[in-house]
Structure 1
Amino acid sequence: MSEIFQRNCAVLERWPQILQRLLAEAPESLPAELVEGNGSTLSVSGVQLTSRHDRISEAQLQADSLPANSPEVHVYGTGLGDVQRVLLTSRSLQRLHVHILNGALFALVLQLLEQDDWLNDPRVVLTYAGDQTEIKLPFFALPAELVLADDFNARIRDRLVSEVHVGFSNQPFAPDTPENLQLLEQARTLLQRDTDVGVLFGTQPGREVFIIATGPSLQQHLPRLRAIWDAADRPLFMCVDTALVSLRKHGIEPDIVVSIDHRITPRYLPPDNTAHIALVYLPRLDEKLLSAWRGPRYVGYSTSPLYAQIRQQIPRAQLFVGGSVIHPAIDLAVKMGACRVTLFGADFAFPGERTHTGWQDGDLGPPANLSRHWVLDGRGNKVKTQLNFRGYLIELERYIAQHPHVRFYNTSRDGALIAGAEFDPDWTAP
């Protein structure tokens, strides 16, 4: 054990459990090398931990991105200690939470570089990021470790990435873009005519609701769903827009279809023969599709600033939207009074290299072979996904955590593991 490592470990005795975990890590497994410029840094798997020219200036820039004079700050990733040192120069800082994103990487740094200075500061709290279920604000996430995060800390990494990208993800919903202004103006006539979705709230107290999405795992359940649909005393069937085609091919007419995306066309949501199907939608949906829908139509808003002005002029109830149509469908079920929500095809991933049930690979988005991201499935294995799907999963998990009075069930282990949703043993294969 090197002298540097011994000094670092002596300080880490402040957190004996963390120290034992770090001693059990395998830093020798990391392909690390020294990278030099005007200064130097470490590179791991081709990813530089910091600038190789001016680490302190970079750390100062990163620290300056946090709210000024914050008494409590969270740093995700340990890096080479530079950001921690800069932050600890602030007299207003009372607590610095440092969350390890890669245990082996931090163990390697502890062997090579002195970290005892910032670790010894009484304001520092050290944890593994994966020991928490949610991220904390305000935070700075070290960019290199968002790439290098290990599997144990991946769920928190996913939440950090989603939070960092939120501004970019919301750009299409800016209220002042010409396209959005035009779509909302076109929606005005039907918005005034159609029924407020709020009239559905509280109408199904204590009922079970099936929420049917379009993930690949839906395919295996369609025959049994058809048999249940025929039953007299059955759950309420609610589906997302792109699931309607598959359901109708199997003789299932859902009670309610939910749609929110202005790119949905009659190809994906055919309005013919829909007299007995209710449509719940958000403004901006295709006007011709809406006009052709034969069944009852219900309209609401999300909390997006996109609807701020028109919401004042034409009040309607709100549904939760976290990026995917499955969110308002689930929120509607809960607001209708569901005590149990069972999810079908809610995969948020591409099990079996397939993207959706009932559609060709790539019909509803990028094909599976272009995926560069992953989540853990219900068996603990990595399954391909795309970045926005991970964000949708995160928002669903947050929603479930906020509604402990409702039981949520998943019906497949093939897709993403959904925290807070139990596997229904009556539907789920081992």
Structure 2
Amino acid sequence: MSEFFERNGELIQQRWPKVWQRLSVEDSAALQADRVEGLGSTLSINGIQLTSRHDRTREAALQADSLPIDSPVVHVYGTGLGDLQLQLLECSGLERLYVHILNGAVFALVLQLLDQQQWLSDPRVELWYAGDLAEIQLPYFALPSELVLADDYNAKIRDRLISETHLAFNNRRFDPDNPEIAERLQACIERVRADADAAELFATCSGREVFVIATGPSLEQHFDTLRAVRERAQRPLLICVDTAYRPLIEQGIKPDVVVTIDQRISMRHLPSDGTGDITLVYMPMVDPVVVRAWQGKRYVAYSASPIYSELRQQFPKAQLFVGGSVIHPAVDLAVKMGASQITLFGADFAFPNNKTHAGWNDGDLGPQMGAARHWVLDGHGQRVKTQLNFRSYLCELERYIAGNPGVAFYNSSRAGAMIVGTTFHPELAR
């Protein structure tokens, strides 16, 4: 035990004994740690620099300046080398600084190498593991290096932090002043005016079980089950997302309801033949060619997006929750229809078995396996490849589930991402 580790540890043990109990057994020896020299120096962990190697103090000052200067409470995610904490503690108006550990082994190593007592001893500081809380806290600053280095225990909070940080960037293409959006909405007005309000479907299946079917690779495990269920007289309602429709039809499984919201969905995804007894729930950004060709009953819904603000005033319709993916309004529709139990199929938010989607070739729906640079934990607690937007969609679904405690949510597979708030279906999950 180094002298620094002993002194830092005594202080943490005195103030946060449960945190120290965990830190003291972290395996920091497993990390590849190197000192990196520049105009100054820093610590590199597994090839990731914790801070600038030129001027750590100036970097921390820039980071501190990005936070609200009048906030009495600030949250810092990641511990770094302590520089940002020291900068923030110089603010006279700061009453409480919450420091959330994103990688316990990294922090344990820093405690061995550097004196951290100055900020750890400040009575305004509270020290937690980030994963001890289910949600991110505002206002916050997340150290970029530790968003990359976050360990398994803190991964869910890392995902929420990255999703929140990217929110404005991700929403940029949903600008109501975008001429392409205006043109598409104008082309859909005729159908919006004529088609039914999705609210007519609400409370029509009170107490019924609903299967919500997405297009993750694990869906392929359940084609036989879904085909058999579809033939039963008394069975769950089958709601599928647009990209799952063709794979289901090709397997002889006809859903009851299809939900679609994306302007990129075409007749290739939603062929209209044989759809006379299938309900379509859509949002006005969907290609009007697809909507007009649909033979079954059509229902219109909006999201909370500002692109629909004028249409909402002209033609009031129901609103469904959208958090970036069509899985969200499909689940929200099931809840608003009155489902007491929802089982998710193909809701993987990841690429299990090195595949992107069920029933489609690699790259057919956008992402390719070779581009997967990120990970989530699957139902077995193992890391599985994914991409950033999938992690954001997962975060929003988990938040939605947390806000609907009266509905029982089941996951049909352990192959995809672990979905907080769901239970693995005792008969279906593998």
Shorter-chain TM-score: what band?
over 0.9
**Does structure 1 conserve the Cα–Cα contact (< 8 Å) formed by 2:257 and 2:279?**
yes
Mean alpha-carbon deviation: is it higher for 31-40 or for 340-349?
31-40
For residue 3 of structure 1, what is the aligned residue in structure 2? 3
Task: Determine the structure 1 residue equivalent to 2:323.
Answer: 322
CA shift at 1:4, angstroms?
2.4
Partners of 2:152 and 2:377 within 8 A in 1? no
Q: Which moved more, 1:76-85 or 1:300-309?
A: 300-309
The one-letter code matched in structure 2 to 1:9 is G
SS of residue matched to 2:258: strand
- Alignment match, 1:288: 289
Q: Give SS of 2:277's match.
A: coil
Partner of 1:253: 254
Greater mean alpha carbon deviation, residues 275-284 or residues 185-194: 185-194
Amino acid at match of 2:281: V
Map of 1:345 onto structure 2: 346
- Structure 1 position 82 matched with structure 2 position 83: yes
Is 105-114 or 331-340 further displaced after alignment?
105-114
CA distance, structure 1, for counterparts of residue 248 and residue 115 of structure 2: 61
Note the 1:9-408 alignment, pairs <5 A. Answer: 9-12=9-12, 13-408=14-409
Cα distance 1:169–1:14, how it changes in 2: closer, same or farther (>3 A)? same
The normalised TM-score by structure 1 is 0.97
> Amino acid of the residue matched to residue 159 of structure 1?
R
- What SS class does the counterpart of residue 238 from structure 1 fall into? strand
Distance 2:272 2:365 in 1: 18
Residue 69 of structure 1 contacts residue 90 of structure 1 at CA under 8 Å; is this kept in 2? no
C-alpha distance in structure 2 between counterparts of 1:63 and 1:175, whole Å: 33
- Please give the root-mean-square deviation of Cα atoms over the aligned residues, in Å: 1.2
Unaligned runs of 5+ in 2: none
What residue number does 2:412 align with? 411
- SS of 1:300's equivalent in the other structure is strand
Does the CA-based 8 Å contact 1:212-1:237 persist in structure 2?
yes
Note the C-alpha offset of 1:127. 0.5
* 1:35–1:52 contact (8 Å) kept in structure 2: yes
Q: Distance in 2 between matches of 1:359 and 1:222?
A: 14
- The CA distance in 1 between the partners of 2:169 and 2:410, in whole Å, is 32
Distance 1:54 1:385 in 2: 34
User: 2: distance between equivalents of 1:349 and 1:219?
Assistant: 14
* Paired residue secondary structure (1:388): helix
Q: Name structure 1 gaps, 5 residues minimum.
A: none
Contact 1:39 1:52 in 2 (8 A): yes
Please give the per-residue CA displacement for 1:220-266, whole angstroms capped at 9, x wherever unaligned.
21122112111111111111111111221222221110001100000
d(CA) in 2 for partners of 1:372 and 1:335? 36
Q: Give the residue type in structure 2 aligned to 1:360.
A: N
Percent of counterpart pairs with the same letter?
A: 62
Distance 1:252 1:330 in 2: 19
CA distance in 2, matches of 1:67, 1:95: 14
CA distance in 2, matches of 1:178, 1:171: 13
Which amino acid is 2:2 matched to?
S
Partner AA of 1:228 in structure 2 = V
The runs of 4+ residues in structure 1 deviating greater than 4 Å are: none
Looking at structure 2, the residues matched to 233 and 392 of structure 1 have their Cα atoms a distance apart, in angstroms, of 32
Provide Cα deviations, 1:366-421, integer angstroms capped at 9, x if missing partner: 22232111111111111111111111111111111110000001111111111111
1:350/1:383 contact within 8 Å kept = yes
Higher mean C-alpha deviation, range 368-377 or range 394-403: 368-377
**Shift, 1:38, TM fit:** 2.1
| SS of residue in 2 equivalent to 1:170 | helix
